Amino acid sequence: MTVSERKRKAIARAALTLFASDGYERTSVDAIAAEAGVSKRTVYSHYGDKENLFLSVVRDTYDGMLSRIAEIVDRTAWDSELSAALSSCVTDITRSIVRAPERSTLVRLLITEAPHFPALIDLMHTREIPPLIAAPLTRLAAAGRLAAADPAQAAEHLSALTFGQVINRSLLGTVPLSEDEIARLLTGGVQAFLRAYRAAD
């Protein structure tokens, strides 16, 4: 990693921390530079201005989480028994979401700053988890293992029934859930999904 890349990462970490703790308006570029251990000029040379820094940091952090989820979907053994494959995928996705240290930070930023930054709403609509799951569900439907005329919608239903339940029950991660409770929600969600979408024998 080059010096420039290290500085950019340090700026991004500092900005995410300060934006989350102090809010966009109260966070100054001077404070971000001091937290990152760089000059104010360095911050501007990497990001241009505070608004672009804010949007870039949120986007890059969120995209990093989605990349980890995409890796989970890709490594899932979709050729195995259907219930086991689905359970493995949604369980690993849920663990990734729940354990991501930056997730709560992003949630706070999205709740507090989205009214002032419509681009954040666009970000959430254009970068979502269900499309990542839709590809394997499409293959399962083509192979006759799922009765899903619309795999994209099926992926939305699977998401809502599983980790969506966990996110809602935990109040966006503010209330910790036990492993048993998470397992119960995911198992019930997968069972409900299969009742709706399992192909007839």
User: What secondary structure letter does DSSP report for 114?
Assistant: G
Same domain, 152 and 62: yes
Same domain, 119 and 92: yes
Same domain, 78 and 43: no
By mean pLDDT, which of 84-88, 114-118, 169-173 is the weakest?
Answer: 169-173
Dihedral of the alpha carbons of 177, 181, 186, 192, in degrees to the nearest 10: -130
Same domain, 67 and 117: yes
Same domain, 65 and 26: no
CATH code of 36's domain: 1.10.10.60
Place of tokens 């293992």: 145
Give mean pLDDT, residues 99-121: 81
Place of tokens 């681009």: 119
Is residue 53 a part of any domain in this protein?
A: no
Place of tokens 């507090």: 112
The residue out of 27, 48, 69 marking a domain boundary is 48
Task: State pLDDT tens for residues 62-89.
Answer: 899 999 999 999 999 999 999 999 999 9
Give mean pLDDT, residues 117-136: 85
What confidence tier does 1 reach under pLDDT thresholds 50, 70, 90? confident
| Tally of domains within the chain | 2
pTM of the model: 0.88
Cα 3 vs. chain centroid, distance in angstroms?
29
By mean pLDDT, which of 24-38, 101-115, 156-170 is the weakest?
Answer: 101-115
Q: In terms of residue numbers, what domain contains 8?
A: 1-48
DSSP string, 157-184: HHHHHTHHHHHHHTTTTTS---HHHHHH
